[in-house]
Structure 1
Amino acid sequence: MDFGLSFALQLPRPWTEHSESELFGSALDQVELAEELGFDYAWVLEQHFLEEYSHSSAPEVFLAAASQRTSRIRLGHGIALLPPAYNQPARVAERISTLDLVSGGRVDLGFGDSKSRMELEGFSIEPADRREMTVEAAEQIADMMALEPYPGFTGRFFAMPARNVVPKPVQKPHPPLWMACSDDESVRAAARLGVGALIHTFFDADEAEKVVRDYYDTFRNECVPIGRAVNPAVATMEPFYCHRSATVAHDRGRAAHGFFTYAARHYYAFGRHRPGFTNLADNFRRVEKLVGGDIPVRGGHSIGTPGAVADRLHALEAAGVDQVILLHQVGDLTHEQVADSLRLFAADVLPGFAQDRDRLRPRQEELAPYVRAAFERKSWASAPRRAEVEVCDAYGLSRPDVEMAMLESLPPATREIILDLQKLKAAALQLDP
């Protein structure tokens, strides 16, 4: 089983003018530490306007910085919001390819759409259409990274003429694809599309085993790949805090993840928000008093001593989970507390899990015929032949000629530049583009 970390860049109030720069600096230090400790993935979310809960609105910039401080750990852009009002598909393809280049081919692309009205209405996205928008865009983004040139597309939510989208990624045909999943049907949808499932926390190993089995059964029988390669895998996000003292782990970890839980429910379930003024941290403490106790952490978790955390994670591994993504930086946990927790996990828990990449071979071999069948179901767009690509005017060749009378009124140096440009244009127009 692989292990990753999830960077939501959470920042409860109160803030100072240095709070965000300190947050980003600490998070980059944590990515570097994660690689040193042997973690496999660093996942960074894309979320907008979610004050205190997530200040991660430009994950591609953060991951680019992280790529220059690491050499091995995989960089998960998870998730990129794909409805075109958030991100025009070609821009996503360009950014992911560039990130793959500067990282030496270490990017995984997770995608989704968000349920929060703060985000959807902030970008004027119709909630009922968001998932269809996402699937339409994801397929085109994969084609843009794989095809030279991209043949163009006209769909319900997105249209673009033929263009060669550059640069191309290191990983061919494109980086591995994942999809955010919040319920059983979305997990099956990920399997049908041939992409990895990024799942919220499982309550227990029995639930995990059922979901994993359902995912792989659906993949075997119904997959029609959305991309040019498949990525059959199940990953789950796990609330995490590790300490040798069970009391400290409970008190400190539950308080931090209690804030995460409250903030998530504020933005995704019941919150009313006044942008720039609502104070989630204060409201969290007030709500705790009103309900008469701690806000419980949703579902199962890996909050506890190394032994308790290891027991939980071994159960998930036995259930068939391919990757656990530890939600490690939440609430008011300090950078030092986060780093100590990660070091303790790496020292006392991680060695108990196989790190042999050959462990994946049996599943890959078992799935191979199903992968071939999945690609046989796919109707492929292909890179067009030269004659099939419509010639289009580029900016410089569409400029009008300048009248001689106007030329005579210009300074000599300007007149010479324009005459040279007209000669170049006349010669270029004789070529077959």
Structure 2
Amino acid sequence: MKFGIFIDLQLPRPWAEGDEEKLFEEALEQVELADQIGIDYVWVQEHHFLEEYCHSSAPELFLAACSQRTKTIRLGHGIVVMSPKFNHPARVAERLATLDILSGGRVEWGTGESGSRMELEGFGVDFVDKRPMWAEALQEASKMMSMDPYPGFQGKYFSMPHRNIVPKPLQKPHPPVWSACSNRDSLKMSAQLGIGALTFAFVNAEEAKFWVEEYYNTFKRECNPLAQVVNPNVAMLTGFMCHEDHKTARKLGQEGAQFFAFGLGHYWRDGVHVPGKTNLWNEFKNRPQSIDQQLERERKKAGMGGIGTPKQLIENFQSLENAGVDQLILLHQCGRYRHEEICKSLELFAKKVLPEFREREAKREKEKQEELAPFIAEANKKIISHEAMNDLPPVEAYPLLWEKSSSKDAQKVPDRRPGMTAFWKMQVGGKSSK
């Protein structure tokens, strides 16, 4: 089983001048440390307007900084919001390819739809359109990175003429694709489309086994790839804080993991938010202690299996490994975790937990690839190959276009308005023609 860390950039109120700068700098140091100690992946969220819960609104910039501070760790978007109203598909393709070059081919392309009202309506997206927007944009962005030139597209949610998107990524035809999954239905859909599943819901080992088996059975039977290459993988999130003393681990880690779950519920399920005013941390600390809520928190203790001593983590993580989980993502920074404790936790994990999984991981990956090889080959046959454009229409610069247009109208009544060519000269040269 591989391991990743999860960058959420949480910043509970109250805020002081310089807090965000410190948050970002410490997060970069944590990624550097993760790279040095052998963590396989770093996943960085994209969210917008979600105060306190997530200040990671430009993950492509954060990951670019990571690319220059690290050597081997895979750089994962967890996720890129694919709606064209958030990110135009051509811009997604350009940014991914650029990051892939800067990192030496280490990009993982996590994708998603977004789901909170705060974000969707902030960018003018109707909730019912978010999934078809995601599918349309993902399919076309994958073509943009793999076609030379891209033939253009007339779609429901975005359109553009033929262009050659540059640069191209180092990984061919494009970086591995993942999709954010919050439930079994979205996990199954990822398998049907040949996409890796990023499961950001806390589940226990029994649930994980069921989810993983359903994912791979679906991939084997029903895969019709959406992108230009398949990526059969399942990654799951867990709370995380490693300490030699169980009580200390719980004291340091439990509240942060609970705040993560609380913020998720606030923005996606039952919260009332006043932008710039609501104090999410205070609401979390003063939440009612009803019996129903206590039961809900007990249920979410599935996400607490990564909070404890090295021995406890080995036991809990092995149960997820045995369930077939390909990658476990450690929720290493949330709530009011202190940077120093985060680093100590990661170092202890690397020293006493990670070695228990390394040798088995290589053997297991080899066996997995051998088992899936015929199914991957069958899925690859279903990938739609897009023919190159034979007749490439030229794209003339504006002055040439306007000149041709004006010559066609030469036999008509003269137009005494300033010509578009003269207007262009004014814009470029800064001076009007005499």
Asked if TM exceeds 0.5, the reply is yes
Q: What does the per-residue CA deviation read over 1:391-414, in whole Å, with 9 as the maximum and x for residues that have no partner?
A: 222345435499xxxxxxxxxxx9
Q: Among residues 322, 328, 333, which one is paired with 2:332 in the alignment?
A: 328
Paired position in structure 2 for 1:421: none
Paired position in structure 2 for 1:110: 110
Q: 3-state DSSP class of the match of 2:297?
A: coil
For 1:222 and 1:250, locate their aligned partners in 2 and report how far apart those are by CA, in whole Å. Answer: 42
Paired position in structure 2 for 1:339: 343
Paired position in structure 2 for 1:206: 206
Paired position in structure 2 for 1:430: none
Deviating more after overlay: 66-75 vs 148-157:
148-157
Q: What letter is aligned with 1:111?
A: T
Q: Among residues 368, 389, 395, which one is paired with 2:373 in the alignment?
A: 368
Residue 294 of structure 1 deviates from its aligned partner by: 11
Count, aligned residues:
408
Q: What letter is aligned with 2:28?
A: L
Aligned pair 1:63/2:68, yes or no?
no
Paired position in structure 1 for 2:394: 391
Q: What letter is aligned with 2:6?
A: S
What is the TM-score with the length of structure 2 in the denominator?
Answer: 0.89
**C-alpha contact (below 8 Å) 1:46/1:81 kept by paired residues:** yes
**C-alpha contact (below 8 Å) 2:75/2:107 kept by paired residues:** yes
Paired position in structure 2 for 1:287: 287
Residue 202 of structure 1 deviates from its aligned partner by: 4.5
Aligned pair 1:217/2:217, yes or no?
yes
Q: 3-state DSSP class of the match of 1:353?
A: helix
With over 3 angstroms needed to count, the CA separation of the structure-2 counterparts of 1:320 and 1:290, relative to structure 1, is closer
Q: What does the per-residue CA deviation read over 1:156-202, in whole Å, with 9 as the maximum and x for residues that have no partner?
A: 21211111001100111100000001111111110111110001244
Q: 3-state DSSP class of the match of 1:300?
A: helix
Paired position in structure 2 for 1:173: 173
For 1:147 and 1:168, locate their aligned partners in 2 and report how far apart those are by CA, in whole Å. Answer: 9
Alignment of 1:18-167 (within 5 A): 18-167=18-167
With over 3 angstroms needed to count, the CA separation of the structure-2 counterparts of 1:72 and 1:243, relative to structure 1, is same
Residue 359 of structure 1 deviates from its aligned partner by: 3.3
With over 3 angstroms needed to count, the CA separation of the structure-2 counterparts of 1:199 and 1:101, relative to structure 1, is same
**C-alpha contact (below 8 Å) 1:44/1:77 kept by paired residues:** yes
For 1:179 and 1:263, locate their aligned partners in 2 and report how far apart those are by CA, in whole Å. Answer: 21
Instruction: Please list every run of 5 or more consecutive structure 1 residues that lacks an aligned counterpart in the other structure.
Output: 403-413, 419-433
Residue 288 of structure 1 deviates from its aligned partner by: 5.0
**C-alpha contact (below 8 Å) 1:99/1:107 kept by paired residues:** yes
With over 3 angstroms needed to count, the CA separation of the structure-2 counterparts of 1:362 and 1:293, relative to structure 1, is closer
Q: 3-state DSSP class of the match of 1:188?
A: helix
Residue 203 of structure 1 deviates from its aligned partner by: 2.8
Q: What letter is aligned with 2:302?
A: G
For 1:34 and 1:368, locate their aligned partners in 2 and report how far apart those are by CA, in whole Å. Answer: 31
Residue 124 of structure 1 deviates from its aligned partner by: 0.9
For 1:382 and 1:10, locate their aligned partners in 2 and report how far apart those are by CA, in whole Å. Answer: 45
Q: What letter is aligned with 2:328?
A: V
Paired position in structure 2 for 1:273: 273
Residue 53 of structure 1 deviates from its aligned partner by: 0.1
Aligned pair 1:382/2:387, yes or no?
yes
For 2:108 and 2:46, locate their aligned partners in 1 and report how far apart those are by CA, in whole Å. Answer: 14
With over 3 angstroms needed to count, the CA separation of the structure-2 counterparts of 1:93 and 1:42, relative to structure 1, is same
For 1:220 and 1:299, locate their aligned partners in 2 and report how far apart those are by CA, in whole Å. Answer: 32
Q: What letter is aligned with 1:213?
A: E
For 1:203 and 1:214, locate their aligned partners in 2 and report how far apart those are by CA, in whole Å. Answer: 15
For 1:358 and 1:396, locate their aligned partners in 2 and report how far apart those are by CA, in whole Å. Answer: 62
Q: What letter is aligned with 1:359?
A: R
For 1:153 and 1:354, locate their aligned partners in 2 and report how far apart those are by CA, in whole Å. Answer: 45
For 1:191 and 1:39, locate their aligned partners in 2 and report how far apart those are by CA, in whole Å. Answer: 25
For 2:344 and 2:381, locate their aligned partners in 1 and report how far apart those are by CA, in whole Å. Answer: 49
**C-alpha contact (below 8 Å) 2:243/2:308 kept by paired residues:** yes
With over 3 angstroms needed to count, the CA separation of the structure-2 counterparts of 1:296 and 1:231, relative to structure 1, is same
Q: What letter is aligned with 2:326?
A: D
Q: 3-state DSSP class of the match of 1:5?
A: strand
What is the TM-score with the length of structure 1 in the denominator?
Answer: 0.89
Q: What letter is aligned with 1:186?
A: S
Residue 263 of structure 1 deviates from its aligned partner by: 1.2
Paired position in structure 1 for 2:297: 296
Residue 218 of structure 1 deviates from its aligned partner by: 0.7
CA RMSD across the alignment:
2.5
With over 3 angstroms needed to count, the CA separation of the structure-2 counterparts of 1:219 and 1:114, relative to structure 1, is same
Instruction: Please list every run of 5 or more consecutive structure 2 residues that lacks an aligned counterpart in the other structure.
Output: 407-424, 430-434
Q: 3-state DSSP class of the match of 2:358?
A: coil
Q: What letter is aligned with 2:239?
A: P
Paired position in structure 1 for 2:420: none
Q: 3-state DSSP class of the match of 1:274?
A: coil
**C-alpha contact (below 8 Å) 1:288/1:295 kept by paired residues:** no
Residue 354 of structure 1 deviates from its aligned partner by: 2.2
For 1:193 and 1:395, locate their aligned partners in 2 and report how far apart those are by CA, in whole Å. Answer: 41
For 1:209 and 1:293, locate their aligned partners in 2 and report how far apart those are by CA, in whole Å. Answer: 26
Q: Among residues 316, 321, 328, which one is paired with 2:320 in the alignment?
A: 316
- Identical aligned pairs, as a percentage? 48
Q: What letter is aligned with 1:296?
A: R
Q: 3-state DSSP class of the match of 1:272?
A: coil
